[in-house]
Structure 1
Amino acid sequence: MKWSLIAIAILVVIVGYSVVTVSSGPLAPLGRISFVKVGNPDFYPGHPHSELLVQYAKEKNSNCALICHFAGSSNYRSYQDGDVFIIELGLIDTQGTGAADPTNYGDSIKLALFGAPDDRYKYKSDGIVFDTYDEAMNHVYTLAKEHNQTGPLPIAWHGNARQGNAVLIQGCGFPLYFHVLQKTYGMIPAYLYTLNGMIFPHMNNPYRNFELGHATELQQLYNEGELDYT
């Protein structure tokens, strides 16, 4: 009983510290937006996943939102979708396996435990490649300010899994989301809010049953280029 009470007390302290730290910070963590692609590109004005992020931002009374990606060939252009300005940011992992290749789980665990070295990541937004985290986030916050953002900026990760189990595989943007939270709030809040973000789409994504029920089919269609509509 004594040890269980100590464990509960430690947990309360960790959660309390994380909540207080994040509540007074510049970013409002949301979590994962989607499980798989239902159309490509999916962060594009009017797309269902873009509209979900718009909805979540409005619920936070926010004029802007930040969406995290694993950078590919896209320029990750920020755009206006209705009343919300969507800021896109992609992660370039100079030592990683790439978005389409198998995950290196040993490397992922190391990054989760110790964070990424400062020279490992580059970032892409609006066609610009940034060599440092500070440069990338300065671009993000400048855009948010230019579009009348007040209060914490909602942040989410894309989440589409190109292959495999779409529940377990956290998909596009997951490493960048954790990285941004870790750099902004420290490791413990990053763990807590990333875990919460993994639960987020199960509670909030109205397309959850469709995406998960047809995940294998949608992944195949995407990988064969059949979901492209632009």
Structure 2
Amino acid sequence: MKWQVILLIVLALFGGYLVISSATGLVEPVGRLGFVKLANPDMYPGHVHSKLLAEYAEERNSKCALVVHFAGDSNYRHYKEGDVMIIEMAFIDTNGTGAAGPTDYMDSLKLAIFGVPDGRYKFKADGLTFNSWKEARSYIKKIAGQNGQEGPIPMVWHGTARSGNPIFTQGCGLPLYFYITWQEYGALAAYYYTLKGMVTPYLSLPYRNYELQHASELQYYYTHGMLDYQ
């Protein structure tokens, strides 16, 4: 019985730490936003995924929300969705294969266990590139502060998978979500919020059935420019 009591105490302390730290930190990790793109660009005023993210923010009485990506051609500019400021940030993996390249699973495992070495990631927002998380973090705080943000900013990873089964392929932005959570709250919190975040779209995404049932079609449409509307 002693080990059970000790385990309960440890879990209670860890849970208390997560509650307190996320309530006072920069971000509140929410999870994955979507499974596949329904239109391109999809983080755009009036788009269903954008409106859903704004709803997440409004539910938490937040004036801003943060969505993180794997860097591509976009400038990742912030914009308003109703009354909510959507802040976008992407990461550039200087040792990686790019947004469209194959995943190096062994490298990903090393990063998940040991963390990301200093200087490996660069960050992109509003057409600007930041060489460190400290710089990128300050920029996020600046934009949020200009929009009256109080308390943590709800954070999601974009989550759209351009190929493969989106149930297993976690899509755009997961490494940055994991990285930010690790930087802000530590490794254990990063594992917890990432696993919890993988469940989020199954509970909160209104279009989950459509996206999953038509994933291969939508991925084909996206990669062949058939979802473009801008």
TM range (shorter): over 0.9
CA RMSD of aligned residues (A): 1.4
Query: Does the CA contact (< 8 Å) of 2:22 and 2:152 recur in 1?
Result: no
Q: Deviations for 1:112-136, whole angstroms, at most 9, x for unmatched residues?
A: 1111111100000000011111111
Match of 2:91 in 1: 91
Q: TM-score, normalised by structure 2?
A: 0.95
After superposing the two structures, state which structure 1 stretch, 18-27 or 71-80, moved more: 18-27
Q: Distance in 1 between matches of 2:51 and 2:148?
A: 19
Residue of structure 2 in register with 1:223 after alignment: 223
Say whether 1:38 aligns with 2:41.
no
Q: Give distance in 1, aligned partners of 2:164 and 2:4.
A: 37
1:69 aligns to what SS in structure 2?
strand
Counterparts of residues 107-118 of structure 1 (less than 5 Å): 107-118=107-118
- Whole-angstrom distance in 2 between the partners of 1:182 and 1:161: 23
Given that 2:36 and 2:160 are in contact with CA atoms closer than 8 Å, whether structure 1 keeps it comes out as yes
Letter in 2 for 1:41: P
1:70 aligns with 2:70: yes
Q: Is the Cα–Cα contact under 8 Å of residues 62 and 150 in structure 1 kept in the other structure?
A: yes
- Is the 2:24–2:151 contact (alpha carbons within 8 Å) kept by the matching residues of 1? no
CA distance in 2, matches of 1:143, 1:200: 26
State the 1:23 CA deviation: 2.4
Would you identify which runs of 4 or more consecutive aligned residues in structure 1 move more than 6 Å?
Answer: none
Q: Match for residue 154 of structure 2?
A: 154
1:84-132 deviations in whole A, cap 9, x for unaligned?
0111100000001111111111111111111111110000000001111
On the 8 A contact 1:161/1:172 being kept in 2, the answer is yes
Structure 1: tracts of 5 or more residues without a match: none
**Counterpart in the other structure of 2:133:** 133
Cα distance in 2 for partners of 1:164, 1:3 equals 42
Runs (5+) with no aligned partner, structure 2: none
The Cα of 1:28 is off from its aligned counterpart by 1.2
Q: Does 1:193 align with 2:196?
A: no
Among all aligned residue pairs of Structure 1 and Structure 2, give the percentage whose two residues are the same amino acid.
54
Q: CA contact under 8 A between 1:22 and 1:189: conserved in structure 2?
A: no
Give the number of aligned pairs.
230
Query: What is the CA distance between 1:4 and its match in structure 2?
Result: 5.4
Q: SS state of the match for residue 80, structure 1?
A: strand
Question: Secondary structure at the residue paired with 2:54?
Answer: helix
Instruction: Report the TM-score when normalising by structure 1.
Output: 0.95
Partner of 1:60: 60
What are the Cα deviations for residues 9-43 of structure 1, in whole angstroms up to 9, with x where unaligned? 54444333323322232211111100000000000
Cα pair distance change 1:165/1:7, threshold 3 Å? farther
- Distance, in Å, in 2 between the alignment partners of 1:170 and 1:67 is 14
